[in-house]
Amino acid sequence: MLFRGRRGLLALVALGNLANLSLFSAAIPGPEAFLAGRPLLVVSLVALQIVVTLILTGVLGRHPVPARRA
């Protein structure tokens, strides 16, 4: 009801959060073990993720869903 985008944008938000689930909880193993001791790689991956997410959000959010009539 509050989300006013298309399903593709909603899927992007949901999949993005699922992809980062291991970063939200220490109990969930993820690729963080491979990034330990490589600070430049961590920064590069985060920067790449931000750029890709911004581009996909811009593309998928360009055409809003028309308002429903009551």
Asked if the structure places residue 2 within a domain, the reply is no
Q: What is the pLDDT of residue 40?
A: 92
Q: Which amino acid is at 13?
A: V
Asked if the structure places residue 69 within a domain, the reply is no
Q: Which amino acid is at 51?
A: V
Range of the domain at 43: 7-60
Q: pLDDT higher for 12 or 31?
A: 12
Per-residue pLDDT, averaged over 18-36, amounts to: 82
Asked if the structure places residue 19 within a domain, the reply is yes
Q: What radius of gyration, in Å, describes the C-alpha atoms of the chain? A: 16
Asked if the structure places residue 67 within a domain, the reply is no
Report yes or no on whether pTM surpasses 0.75.
Answer: no
Asked if the structure places residue 22 within a domain, the reply is yes
To which residue do tokens 């360009």 refer? 62
Count structural domains, the chain.
1
Residues 6+ apart with CB under 8 A from 9: 57, 60, 61
> pLDDT at residue 70 above 80?
no
- Assess contact for 12 and 61: CB atoms under 8 A: no
Asked if the structure places residue 46 within a domain, the reply is yes
Q: Which two tokens stand for residue 56?
A: 């996909």
